Amino acid sequence: MSFSQLSAYEEIVGSGEIEELLALADKIKDVSVTHVNSTSTGGGVVEILRSLVPLFRLVGIPCRWEIIQGTDKFFRTTKLFHNLLQGLSLKEGEKITQDMLDEYRRVNDENMKKVDLASDVVIIHDPQPAALVRARGNNKWVWRCHIDLSSPDKKPGIFYILILDNTMRLFSPCRILFSLHLWLII
């Protein structure tokens, strides 16, 4: 069965749900959405976006998927952030260095010049592209964290990175937060 047409889903969810979905989508059909993550292959976020972006388009919502680029050092750094956020502790002798923070910001600054963030809503997936929020204008931003944040390592440095010099106004695991420019969904 091909799911390239919305009617293919009727057998699974029923025609009433499809009609409701189309009615809801019609209310926001002029709202453009951009999803941003750090890879086009492998992992759960990719699997979600491979399905979600076409579904947005099927219901008439303009939707794009942008992928940031990074260096090996950047990805090693963000893997450490990921592990700390997920509750692992730094290994003996391991630390977050200023050089790592600089590389994280530098790579995101480079991506700000390359990635098209001109849409009504920008959805950032996971920590790798989170610093792109510094490029926001008047559009709405969502940080969708796919990491288990129920017991993060509370090293101050990791939260500083995610707060991004107060660009993200609040950080609170396991809640939905609304601000003027950012919805943080965890």
User: What spatial distance separates the first Cα and last Cα of the chain, rounded to whole Å?
Assistant: 33
Distance CA 144, CA 186 (A): 6
Task: Express each pLDDT in 81-107 by its tens digit.
Answer: 888 878 888 888 888 888 998 999 899
Asked if the model's pLDDT at residue 178 lies above 70, the reply is: no
Domain count across the chain: 1
- In a domain, residue 54? The reply is yes
Residue 177 has a pLDDT of: 40
Given a contact cutoff of 8 angstroms between Cβ atoms, the answer to whether 183 and 119 are in contact is no
161: closest CA among 108, 123, 104, 79? 104
- In a domain, residue 31? The reply is yes
Residue 63 has a pLDDT of: 97
The sign one gets for the Cα dihedral 129, 134, 140, 143 is positive
- In a domain, residue 143? The reply is yes
Rounded to 10 deg, the angle between the 98-114 and 72-85 helix axes is 110
Residue 121 has a pLDDT of: 92
Structural domain including 19 reads 12-185
Residue 137 has a pLDDT of: 82
- In a domain, residue 3? The reply is no
Residue 101 has a pLDDT of: 86
Given a contact cutoff of 8 angstroms between Cβ atoms, the answer to whether 127 and 152 are in contact is no
For the record, the structure tokens of 32 come out as: 């453009």
Q: Report, as an integer, the average pLDDT of 122-148.
A: 85
- In a domain, residue 113? The reply is yes
134: closest CA among 181, 81, 178? 181
Task: Express each pLDDT in 9-39 by its tens digit.
Answer: 888 999 999 999 999 999 999 999 999 999 9
Q: 36 vs 142, which has greater pLDDT?
A: 36
- In a domain, residue 6? The reply is no
Task: Express each pLDDT in 35-63 by its tens digit.
Answer: 999 999 988 899 999 999 999 999 999 99
Residue 91 has a pLDDT of: 86
For the record, the structure tokens of 74 come out as: 């950047």
- In a domain, residue 1? The reply is no
- In a domain, residue 98? The reply is yes
Asked if the model's pLDDT at residue 166 lies above 60, the reply is: no
Within 10 angstroms of residue 38's Cβ, the number of other Cβ atoms is 22
Residue 161 has a pLDDT of: 53
Judged by DSSP in three states, 67 sits in: strand
Asked if the model's pLDDT at residue 183 lies above 50, the reply is: no
Full-model pTM: 0.82
Residue 158 has a pLDDT of: 55
Whichever domain contains 58, its CATH number is 3.40.50.2000
